[in-house]
Amino acid sequence: MKVPQAGAVAAVIALALTASGCGAGGEDKGTLPIGIKFDQPGIGMRETGGTFTGFDVDVATYVAKELGYSPEQIEFKQVLSNDRELLLQYNEVEFVVASYSINEKRKEKVDFAGPYFVAHQDLLTRANDTSITKAEDLNSKTMCSVTGSTSAENLKKNLAPKAALLELGGYSDCIVALQEGRVDAMTTDNSILAGYAARKGNEGKFKLTGQSLSNENYGIGVKKGEKDLQRKINEALKKMVQDGSWEAAVKKNFGANYKYEPAPAITTGS
């Protein structure tokens, strides 16, 4: 998928900010724009009717409460994997809670709070496909991931360099491609894949292969240099774990059978 040039994206974002009169700089304290995914069941999902569900939604709502905002004041904005940094840089959102794995390359452009969750990269295949049991099996297959995702980069560079890769704009597009047989597997974090496999209408159609191909530490992205906001978010995350809200959100969104790790220690900020 062709990614728009940064200048064009900046112009669009600037126009949107002018029209709304509200940026992440805080001119309008009445609303809090937060970037989330709209197409990840269990993580961040825009449901029919405009409501939002998912673990990241619950985390974002809790953090917003600690920052002094009610749920009614939150303005959830869709982010894609390849535009999260731009939306922060151009003040379109205050922070991003969108299965956003912390890595050194991203830390050059944004600051992170957290981590607040640990996931592991896995593969999702059609339920009747027995030809893929490990990552190396993809060397003769076609896999799907999202443009800008670290998962596809990890597979191509380290695990299955001969695999064909189809990069699409969203994981929901990959699910359709997998169901239609245009790809043999899709790859991303197991938390996201489990959400899709359990989604109503998908029961019995797909399966996770049970790989742990990476450790993905989800962080909350903030604009580079926003150290005070980073500190406040870290404090909110610690409180969410301490009062039991974190574990309740995990069980609510991923189901009783999902094998999750304990909340990770906060390692960002000073």
- Average the pLDDT over each of 197-201, 214-218, 260-264 and give the range with the smallest value: 197-201
> Which residues have CB under 8 Å from 226's CB, separation 6+?
111
Compute the distance between CA of residue 241 and CA of residue 260 in angstroms, rounded to an integer.
Answer: 14
Categorize the per-residue pLDDT at 174 as very low, low, confident or very high, splitting at 50, 70 and 90: very high
Query: Could you give the percent of the chain with pLDDT greater than 90?
Result: 67
Q: What does the block give as tokens for 26?
A: 């805080």
3-state helix, strand, coil in the chain (%, to 5): 35, 25, 40
Categorize the per-residue pLDDT at 256 as very low, low, confident or very high, splitting at 50, 70 and 90: low
Sole residue written with tokens 């600051």: 111
Domains of the chain, first to last: 6-118+216-254 (3.40.190.10), 120-208 (3.40.190.10)
Buried/exposed code over 78-117 (b: 16+ C-beta within 10 A; e: otherwise): bbbbbbbbbbbbbbbbbbbbbbbbbeeebeeebbbbbbbb
Query: What's the pTM value of the predicted model, to 2 decimals?
Result: 0.77
Q: Which residue blocks in the chain are alpha helix, DSSP H?
A: 6-20, 55-66, 84-89, 104-107, 150-154, 171-180, 190-198, 227-242, 245-254
For 110-141, what is each residue's pLDDT tens digit? 999 999 999 999 999 999 999 999 999 999 99
The DSSP symbol for 133 reads S
In one-letter notation, the amino acid at residue 200 is K
Question: Which helix (H) or strand (E) is 168 found in, with range?
Answer: strand 164-168
- Average the pLDDT over each of 22-26, 40-44, 159-163 and give the range with the smallest value: 22-26
